Structure 1
Amino acid sequence: MIKRKSEMTKMSILIEIMHGKKKIKDIARSVNITIQGVSEYVKLLKKEGYIDRNMNITQSGTEFVYKKIEELRNFVTSVMSDMKIISSTEAIAGEPIKKGERVGIFMENGYIYAYKKQSKSSGVASYDAYPGEDLNIENLEGIIDLTMGRITLVRLPSSREGGSRLINENDIKPLIDANIKKGAIGPVALVTLKKFGISIDFEYGVIRAAQEAAHRGFSSTIFVSSDLFKYAVEELERESPGLSKVTYRIVDLSNVHRIN
């Protein structure tokens, strides 16, 4: 937290310098810290090569500012997503709705539906809509009642170890549920699921698709071989713009059976 505040202060001072301010007292007034504080930061910025001796911002300084602005934008986007801060939203009418009616908002099958009944989240219909029609809801209040989905990552043997040949139906059955999305990353996973007649929901952009599904209330089981497992975990751990982190668990089937 202290480091983040320091970085933001440096960014603020550099922005003031970019706008032509070179006097310490003017910068201090703009960023709302003491003259002594600005003076210390200026020394540091010169040492780091972000400004030159004439108080001009360098190329490195400009790149630093753009990088911090991008980080700040991603942080704000993430917080807004977590808090569901939106002024209007698309929805599907669950019953006949008239323009100007206040409606309750519900998540059903991964989509937002509007009904003329109470909900923790509500808004005003922008126009008339029949059941099943799309509808814009504005003047939103409250938070949509949604239970986040989870991701199960199933590690399979790599093709070098025997691949799909080592997996039998009893290994897979407990992991399959009609209400859970299924994804396959790589040939071993694809062949394994097809071998047992399991429908596949995600084949491309699998991790991102599972994360999106989790934010719509769906859980997913993703199958991946040992060779691609590290990649899948890295994707799950990586922050996705606009999405909060999804809880996941690992089931390891890579050593269940061996080829003799």
Structure 2
Amino acid sequence: MNELKNKVVVIYGAGGEIGGAVARAFAREGARLFLTGRRLAPVEAVARDIVSAGGEAEAAQVDALDEQAIDKHLQFVVAKAGCIDISFNAIGNSPTSYLGASLVEMDLKQFIMPITSYIISYFLTARLAARRMLLNKSGVIMTVSAPPARIGTPNGGYGPSQAAKEALTRYLSKELAPQGIRVVCLQPHGMPETETIKEIFESRAATAGVTWEQFTAYLAGMNHPKRFMTLAEMANVAVFVASDKASVLMGTTVNMTMGALDD
């Protein structure tokens, strides 16, 4: 317990399943949380859960693609808490507009949408957090990618966007590690608890006459234990990576695919 005691954490996309699970796990380990999202209501719900369980969390509406909004919020965090120890980017977007679409037939706007949202958000939140962390020569910057970064699947620009996040993790680490700042990416496999997997099923598998049970069995069959990772398991790994016990993890993507991808 208390692996993150008194750590000041900012989470982007805290109203989503991954961001919310990480927030709750960080809170249980003693972190002081500043939760953000483009929509305030789901972020407030996570903050209420944390506070009711005895943790510390504040919610704010922040568009993680808006540089000025991010910067203003970080100014508020530093003024109130004194520093930023951990920045975690868990933003997402609906994949239904590009999943299964032909690259040959796809227009530029459709292709570049996930690339623009994911990589710009990660760049802005990481860069602006790093500027504060450099003052103390300490901090951890984290994000989440997905297996399509390394697997050829029909998902338009989504796979390239995740590969770009992993590359940016390495670039940021090369620059920031000598200054005491770790940059790490987590790569979980599909989790049925998330809305993204449900949207993928509804947009593709359901129309093909595949049941939810068949769809999830197919996904689970890709990894070694033939089962799904849970949000709780993912969040537990996130706690470790964010903690001082993972001090040697930097500039890398942590493979959490349970064997679906070989390193």
TM-score of the pair, normalised by structure 2: 0.20
TM-score of the pair, normalised by structure 1: 0.20
Which has the bigger relative contact order, CA under 8 A and spacing at least 6?
A: 2
Which protein has the bigger helix share? 2
Which protein has the bigger strand share? 1
Query: Max radius of gyration: which structure?
Result: 1
